Amino acid sequence: MRITLGVTGGVAAYKSAELVRRLQQEGHSVQVVMTRAACEFVTPLTFAALSGQKVITDLFAKSSTGEANLESAIEHIAVAQRTDLLVVAPATADTLAKFARGLADDFLSTLYLASTAPVIVAPAMNVNMWQHAATQENLAVLKARGVHVVEPNAGYLACGMIGPGRLAELDEILRAVQGVAQAKRDLAGETLLVTAGPTCEDIDPVRYITNRSSGKMGYAVAEAGARRGAKVILITGPTALATPEGVERVDVRTAEEMLAAARKHFPACSLAIFAAAVADYRPAKPASSKIKRSKEALTIRLEPNTDILATLAKEKGERIVVGFAAETEQVAENARKKLAQKNADLVVANDVTAEGAGFDHDTNIVTLFSRDGRDLPLPRMSKAEVAERILDEAVRIRAVLRSKPATHRAGG
């Protein structure tokens, strides 16, 4: 899950550094947003080192010439779009008041208004501030809007007083995060078909044609789908990856075997994501015995494999179909062509020559091209995060289609 951690100005801000580490241990990606007051207690460099990501401290960052950076001016929208959960710990009385009243005078409060993600706040403040009627009224407003509040603990406070106001224990905050994560079950009752990995096309009993696909992207999609409640069928070419928990795995080797398995399971699925790097060609006549080495040139005649995505997308009906486009040039142009020619609802495209993208990396840099005209470029992120964004977009497309009058979608 992609978590944005808001850190506001209080003595308890130092505990947020440990919270970053604990969230990462749970498998979450964390980006930190700090208020100016928070920077008086803990430096942004601390959180940047821990999270491995840029720490945002200002709504309008300045360029080297002292001018406002246009990119930073709309950054809160980009962060809002890629955030699965906003956690504010510690949350001061001032921040709670801004959230409750819709004020947006810094990055964090603006992000709160721009995001549709679930929100968890863990207040920490002086006992009198906590018990004040205004603070309690603001909390009531936030709770009514669905904000999850992790109540502070009672004890000795930094101000010297004793009472409620201490930041909740990190285990309590983590339990709240886990509760929200488990609630994201938007694929419950759905069947998700995923293809992954390479295919191998035999030249002879010893040699074959394949590609550099590790299968990591497809496996990440399968794992994310299972976590979100789907019944997942993973049709995989040869890989060294372990089967994700809760996923039904079907092992294949060649493109023909993958097509046969996909045909078998496609009718039962409501969402199909074709992430496999299927060989476009295979040897026309594989040798029955090993081809012996000689000094003569060797010519192997290749014939095309069946296009699995295009073939099954012709029969998609009400299913959502997602394809991948691994390109080395003209990425956007080729992805849009594939989207139209293969009757897909979404194409995930990337330049495999880009640093941190493509085959055998744990990260990817992709753009999602949707049939309804929406292009969504994503920054470099882990393949697990990319998988979540692909599923988010597929769920969005499904909701849009279901809101329209029923039509026969086969063939577009």
Range with lowest mean pLDDT among 177-191, 205-219, 290-304, 334-348: 177-191
Average pLDDT over residues 330-334: 88
pLDDT band at residue 130 using 50, 70 and 90 as cut-offs: very high
Does the pLDDT value for residue 215 go beyond 70?
yes
Q: Give residue 118's pLDDT.
A: 87
pLDDT band at residue 358 using 50, 70 and 90 as cut-offs: low
CB 322 within 8 A of CB 344: yes
Positive or negative torsion for Cα 257, 263, 265, 266? positive
Q: Give residue 406's pLDDT.
A: 58
Is the pTM here over 0.75, yes or no?
A: no
- Type of residue found at 81: Q
Average pLDDT over residues 197-213: 95
Tens-place pLDDT, residues 226-265 = 988 899 999 999 999 999 989 999 999 999 999 999 999 9
Q: Is the CATH number of domain 2-183 3.40.50.1950?
A: yes
Range with lowest mean pLDDT among 65-79, 272-286, 361-375: 65-79
Q: Give residue 2's pLDDT.
A: 87
The full DSSP string for 164-209 is EEEPPPHHHHHHHHHHHHHH--TTTT-EEEEEESB--EESSSS-EE
pLDDT band at residue 178 using 50, 70 and 90 as cut-offs: confident
pLDDT band at residue 383 using 50, 70 and 90 as cut-offs: confident
Among the listed residues 39, 159, 200, 269, the single catalytic one is 159
Instruction: Considering the chain, tell me which residue range(s) the CATH 3.40.50.10300 domain(s) occupy.
Output: 191-402
d(CA 324, CA 394): 13
Q: Which residue would you say has higher pLDDT here, 76 or 244?
A: 244
- Concerning whether 159 is annotated as a catalytic residue, the answer is yes
pLDDT band at residue 183 using 50, 70 and 90 as cut-offs: low
Does the pLDDT value for residue 351 go beyond 90?
no
CATH among 3.90.550.10, 2.40.128.120, 3.40.50.10300, 3.40.50.300 for 191-402: 3.40.50.10300
Give the containing element (helix H, strand E) for 142: helix 133-144
Terminal C-alpha separation, the chain: 33
Tens-place pLDDT, residues 133-164 = 999 999 999 988 889 999 998 776 566 667 67
Across the chain, mean pLDDT equals 89
Instruction: Considering the chain, tell me which residue range(s) the CATH 3.40.50.1950 domain(s) occupy.
Output: 2-183
